[in-house]
Chain A
């Protein structure tokens, strides 16, 4: 019921919303929950497992019951959803349903601040005022639409709040975020803040945690009935939203705080039947005020059972029943230590306050106010101001004690916590969201569990979307009681982990979705590939044409045609993605000698050499061709995917092991476009392309390069390098000439562009391995059958490992060729290989696996490369590839299938 006056709502602005298909209204300033209660809707969806009726319990982020799906967003709590006009919500049990994002944009912001204050209640406001007085950059973060925290739940809000807010907004170095939840506290004061669809990454030099406290429920029989609410939430609904959640109210408390709820309820016109206080002697001043208002106070009283079916109708105590339609419960207060604990601050149990308190900080932070167990307003304000001032001075700014409002200080009487009442344990709920009861806890402790971490996982208590904000401490109380311990303090807590409140994956992802998920790299020739209808594949971040299908062609047909062209005519490929590093310095040759298994120091200027690189463990790391441009200058190429790794590798060794070598490294991958011109007719094509170049084999032999100018005036570096076994050239030009050069090559008659798939087939026919496809970090150059590339005359990284006992085992996996006995079969890459006639009962001994497999135009059959145990001693043997239910026989061969004598290289 909405009260006729009062509240921090704007009665002039009526908002329409739909809940579970029913149109309703509320006011600006309402939450969905307060508007529901104003409309008489207390019940929410039934519980997830036991389908018991449930109602709104709290007025904030700790809500366990009131889960709603709002405009497609699942798992929100009605108590934290701000009402807006046109909002559509449905109550849900447990889980909601994700909807498409529909163009919603989520964004990220990265900020640095001197002091971050989390929580805009009295302590946080005082801290922010004090910290910012001397010019320090201060950020104040609060999850509510307006600042004030607990003060917003008072009958009238202290005028100091609005003056504090005005002061803060007038300070240029202060940034205030409302509707913003700090949910994760990481190393080096790194705090994540969710503000609707914006994720703030905040790095703070000091943090002040003013995160408040949560009121705890009590565990008694049928304590989940709708109409049982947190006493402080009832007060919030009455004073802040002008909503009366019940007319005949029983208040059950273990501490002083719920008395204010009873008083404010009475002022608002409700009948408070009784205040039941667990304490033997409730404080006299509060009892006197209650008596004045006609409220009966009963000491040493505890609700044992709630009555009612869909809503509470009465409560039973030790000896009598009381009729009511609302039970306001305060089981004590738990400081919100979540963020402090995430920051690896330690906690201690305080027996007087009956709560876990912040103990020792391990990061640059301080906890103030209710979060530090300081519940008195005057004390919290003073503590906040002192912490703010201290934070400013610690980061080099003068702090100043702000003007604080004069508030009366009252000595609180300690609570008398109760963890369990003698009732049916299967109907005493500990975690409402997980539907877990005292009986579940007793089952866990009965099974021998002692650690709260074990009980938590066994009972699922604290694992719901609310992460046990209200249930954790009561659960510890129940466990402690079951184990005969005096308090939860003897158990310790479970670990607090981020996020403090649920955060959507969409917010985490921000704009890094779809095309922006990962950078896409394209070569200067890319537009031509797109126009030509190329099918692309991802190689690292690069988009590379995989093949260029003609009308009616599938991949197999296109690749066979492209391979045939390269072997019989001319094929061209955009090889610009190959990594290119210039290695420069007087010791560049010496450096490469130490990195590569083969020698580069004496490579003549104008020549090129294929090289292989190992890790210190002797395993193949990368390979590529290196050209010597000058005495002190080499151009190294790497695999497309290995470019960044190799550059880092060079830097690491040069800086950390050989700092005296004169050598530097520059990535020039993006500076060059590389076009491979491949095939028996390539010499003629390159001759016409570069008219001033003598392309005869004598003048321009294999593994050399020449600087020249193309017929269209473009300067080029042309190398004779072959990755196919055919006569082939690589035309390198400045990247801005890449597309023009590609077009110039294509202007020749009958040139076939080919993609990575044909390139793979052509090189596999020659038995050239691809690092990362035919190797996997466990393969040495010897395993590849490439002992010829391993120098015996110089040291290089990994050399010593090549004679470790493990590296010379005869049963190491060797790279071999594999020909399926049925020539029409192309074995899937990754297929395991086993011996013939072994029983197929697991474990079947594996001999190896297929690393590359294709259909060959030149061979007219399927063929493969494979890593096989002792493979080179098995040449000619037949192995079996189990594929589903069929066994496919294949013969082990030398890995070179085509042009074994190398006759085609020079044209």
Chain B
């Protein structure tokens, strides 16, 4: 079980968090203007790198805040954590 440093609460057990997938996939400003292909890419397509990955976490059993983190998907090491 990972020990995750919540930017607001400090280090807490992984069970207090939920994973939110890849970060920086913004909700399109005007979804209606997108083609089916573009909308499908927003909806379904995500990166899956081995190594550093920018992703979202939420401290759901704590402060309930969302934050971004860079995690190494091969080692589960949190490389960069920020608010």
User: CB-CB < 8 A to B52: which residues of A?
Assistant: none
Whether A648 touches B76, Cβ cut-off 8 Å, given contacts A187-B1, A617-B43, A800-B32, is: no
Within 8 A of B (CB), among A153-189: 186-189
Q: How far is the CB of B40 from chain A (nearest CB, A)?
A: 7
Give 16 pairs: A residue, B residue, CB < 8 Å, sorted on A: A187-B1, A203-B3, A616-B27, A616-B42, A651-B58, A652-B20, A655-B66, A656-B20, A656-B56, A657-B27, A795-B31, A797-B27, A799-B31, A801-B39, A801-B43, A804-B39
Binary B-proximity of A195-219 (CB < 8 A = 1, otherwise 0): 0000000010000000000000000
Q: How far is the CB of A648 from chain B (nearest CB, A)?
A: 6
User: CB-CB < 8 A to B58: which residues of A?
Assistant: 648, 651-652
User: CB-CB < 8 A to B42: which residues of A?
Assistant: 616
- Complex Cα spacing A1 to B53, Å: 64
Binary B-proximity of A629-663 (CB < 8 A = 1, otherwise 0): 00000000000000000001001100111000000
Main secondary structure, interface of B, reads mixed
Q: Which 7 A-B pairs have the closest CB atoms?
A: A800-B31, A188-B3, A655-B66, A657-B27, A187-B2, A190-B1, A656-B66
User: CB-CB < 8 A to A652: which residues of B?
Assistant: 20, 58, 66
User: CB-CB < 8 A to A655: which residues of B?
Assistant: 65-66
Query: Is the C-beta of B60 less than 8 angstroms from some C-beta in chain A?
Result: yes
- Complex Cα spacing A651 to B64, Å: 8
Nearest chain A residue, comparing its CB with the CB of B56: A656
- Complex Cα spacing A648 to B62, Å: 12
Query: Is the C-beta of A362 less than 8 angstroms from some C-beta in chain B?
Result: yes
Query: Is B27 in contact with A800, judged by CB distance below 8 angstroms?
Result: no
Contact for B75 among A362, A648, A656, A800, CB less than 8 A = A362
Binary B-proximity of A329-341 (CB < 8 A = 1, otherwise 0): 0000000000000
Binary B-proximity of A575-618 (CB < 8 A = 1, otherwise 0): 00000000000000000000000000000000000000000110
- Complex Cα spacing A616 to B75, Å: 31
Within 8 A of B (CB), among A784-805: 795, 797, 799-801, 804-805
Size class of the contact patch on chain A: 20 to 34
Nearest chain A residue, comparing its CB with the CB of B27: A657
Contact for A800 among B3, B14, B34, B64, CB less than 8 A = B34
Query: Is the C-beta of A344 less than 8 angstroms from some C-beta in chain B?
Result: yes
Query: Is B31 in contact with A187, judged by CB distance below 8 angstroms?
Result: no
Within 8 A of A (CB), among B32-46: 32, 34, 36, 39-40, 42-43
User: CB-CB < 8 A to B76: which residues of A?
Assistant: 187-188
Within 8 A of B (CB), among A316-365: 344, 362
Query: Is the C-beta of B9 less than 8 angstroms from some C-beta in chain A?
Result: no
Query: Is A190 in contact with B3, judged by CB distance below 8 angstroms?
Result: yes
Nearest chain A residue, comparing its CB with the CB of B58: A652
User: CB-CB < 8 A to B2: which residues of A?
Assistant: 187-188
Q: How far is the CB of B50 from chain A (nearest CB, A)?
A: 15
- Complex Cα spacing A666 to B56, Å: 22
User: CB-CB < 8 A to A344: which residues of B?
Assistant: 75
Binary B-proximity of A614-626 (CB < 8 A = 1, otherwise 0): 0011000000000
User: CB-CB < 8 A to A656: which residues of B?
Assistant: 20, 56, 66
Nearest chain A residue, comparing its CB with the CB of B38: A800
Nearest chain B residue, comparing its CB with the CB of A656: B66
User: CB-CB < 8 A to A795: which residues of B?
Assistant: 31-32
Tell which of B1, B32, B75 has the most Cβ of chain A within 10 Å.
B1
User: CB-CB < 8 A to A203: which residues of B?
Assistant: 3
- Complex Cα spacing A795 to B30, Å: 9
- Complex Cα spacing A187 to B2, Å: 5
Query: Is A804 in contact with B3, judged by CB distance below 8 angstroms?
Result: no
User: CB-CB < 8 A to A804: which residues of B?
Assistant: 36, 39-40
Nearest chain A residue, comparing its CB with the CB of B28: A800
Interface residues of B (CB under 8 A from A): 1-3, 14, 18, 20, 26-28, 31-32, 34, 36, 39-40, 42-43, 56, 58, 60, 64-66, 75-76
Given A656-B20, A800-B32: 4 more A-B contacts, CB < 8 Å? A648-B18, A655-B66, A657-B27, A800-B31
Q: How far is the CB of A508 from chain B (nearest CB, A)?
A: 14
Query: Is A651 in contact with B36, judged by CB distance below 8 angstroms?
Result: no
Q: How far is the CB of A595 from chain B (nearest CB, A)?
A: 12
Within 8 A of B (CB), among A217-236: none
Query: Is B1 in contact with A651, judged by CB distance below 8 angstroms?
Result: no
User: CB-CB < 8 A to A190: which residues of B?
Assistant: 1, 3
Nearest chain A residue, comparing its CB with the CB of B34: A800
- Complex Cα spacing A656 to B68, Å: 10
Q: How far is the CB of B59 from chain A (nearest CB, A)?
A: 11
- Complex Cα spacing A616 to B40, Å: 10
Q: How far is the CB of B72 from chain A (nearest CB, A)?
A: 10
Query: Is A657 in contact with B1, judged by CB distance below 8 angstroms?
Result: no
User: CB-CB < 8 A to A617: which residues of B?
Assistant: 43
User: CB-CB < 8 A to B32: which residues of A?
Assistant: 795, 799-800
Query: Is A651 in contact with B18, judged by CB distance below 8 angstroms?
Result: no
Q: How far is the CB of B17 from chain A (nearest CB, A)?
A: 12
User: CB-CB < 8 A to A800: which residues of B?
Assistant: 28, 31-32, 34, 39
Q: How far is the CB of A518 from chain B (nearest CB, A)?
A: 15
Contact for A657 among B26, B64, B75, CB less than 8 A = B26
Q: How far is the CB of A79 from chain B (nearest CB, A)?
A: 31
User: CB-CB < 8 A to B1: which residues of A?
Assistant: 186-188, 190
Within 8 A of B (CB), among A654-682: 655-657
Contact for A648 among B14, B26, B60, B65, CB less than 8 A = B60
Nearest chain A residue, comparing its CB with the CB of B40: A804
Contact for A805 among B18, B28, B36, CB less than 8 A = B36
User: CB-CB < 8 A to B65: which residues of A?
Assistant: 655
User: CB-CB < 8 A to A799: which residues of B?
Assistant: 31-32
Q: How far is the CB of B20 from chain A (nearest CB, A)?
A: 7
User: CB-CB < 8 A to A805: which residues of B?
Assistant: 36
- Complex Cα spacing A188 to B66, Å: 21
Tell which of A203, A617, A652, A799 has the most Cβ of chain B within 10 Å.
A652
User: CB-CB < 8 A to A657: which residues of B?
Assistant: 26-27
User: CB-CB < 8 A to A188: which residues of B?
Assistant: 1-3, 76
Nearest chain B residue, comparing its CB with the CB of A799: B31
Q: How far is the CB of B67 from chain A (nearest CB, A)?
A: 9
Q: How far is the CB of A86 from chain B (nearest CB, A)?
A: 39
- Complex Cα spacing A655 to B66, Å: 7
User: CB-CB < 8 A to B75: which residues of A?
Assistant: 344, 362
Nearest chain B residue, comparing its CB with the CB of A657: B27
Q: How far is the CB of A525 from chain B (nearest CB, A)?
A: 28
Q: How far is the CB of B15 from chain A (nearest CB, A)?
A: 11
Nearest chain B residue, comparing its CB with the CB of A644: B60
Nearest chain B residue, comparing its CB with the CB of A658: B27
Nearest chain B residue, comparing its CB with the CB of A797: B27
User: CB-CB < 8 A to B39: which residues of A?
Assistant: 800-801, 804
Within 8 A of B (CB), among A746-800: 795, 797, 799-800
Tell which of A188, A617, A648, A804 has the most Cβ of chain B within 10 Å.
A188
Q: How far is the CB of A660 from chain B (nearest CB, A)?
A: 13
Q: How far is the CB of B78 from chain A (nearest CB, A)?
A: 9
Q: How far is the CB of A655 from chain B (nearest CB, A)?
A: 5
Nearest chain B residue, comparing its CB with the CB of A615: B43
User: CB-CB < 8 A to B40: which residues of A?
Assistant: 804
User: CB-CB < 8 A to B26: which residues of A?
Assistant: 657
Query: Is B66 in contact with A651, judged by CB distance below 8 angstroms?
Result: yes
User: CB-CB < 8 A to A616: which residues of B?
Assistant: 27, 42-43
- Complex Cα spacing A799 to B43, Å: 12
Q: How far is the CB of B2 from chain A (nearest CB, A)?
A: 5
Q: How far is the CB of B55 from chain A (nearest CB, A)?
A: 12
Nearest chain B residue, comparing its CB with the CB of A647: B64
Q: How far is the CB of A201 from chain B (nearest CB, A)?
A: 9
- Complex Cα spacing A657 to B64, Å: 15
Nearest chain A residue, comparing its CB with the CB of B18: A648
- Complex Cα spacing A462 to B2, Å: 29
